[in-house]
Amino acid sequence: MSSAWNSAKTDNCDVGAVEEESHFTRASAHVLIGEIMVCNRDLEKIKENINDVQQKMKNIIEVLGNIKHTKIVPFCCVNFSFKSSFKVF
C-alpha cells in the first residue's frame, strides 16, 4: 500500500480526518483515488462473473427440468454375446 494510504488509515481501518502535520498531499489523494478506481473496476468484474455463473446455473436447472419430462434414450446399446461378436441396437 502507499504511504499516503497508511497515513490516512486509523487503527480500525476506517479512513478518518487527516491531521495537518501529516504528509498527505494532493498527490497522495490522487494515489488513493486511483486505488479506489482499480477496486471499483475489480468489483465490476466480480459482478459480471457472478451474473455469468447465475445464468449458467439457471440454464442447467432448466435443462434438468426438461429431462424430468422426457424419456432418456441412450445413444448406443451394445450387447456382447459369448461368441465375441456384438450387436448394436
Give pLDDT tens digits for 21-50.
677 899 999 999 999 999 999 999 999 999
Least confident of 7-16, 43-52, 67-76: 7-16
Instruction: Give the contacts of 35 (CB within 8 A, at least 6 positions apart).
Output: 2, 5
79: β partners:
87
Instruction: Give the span between the Cα atoms of 60 and 65, in whole angstroms.
Output: 9
Q: Which residue has the higher pLDDT, 27 or 16?
A: 27
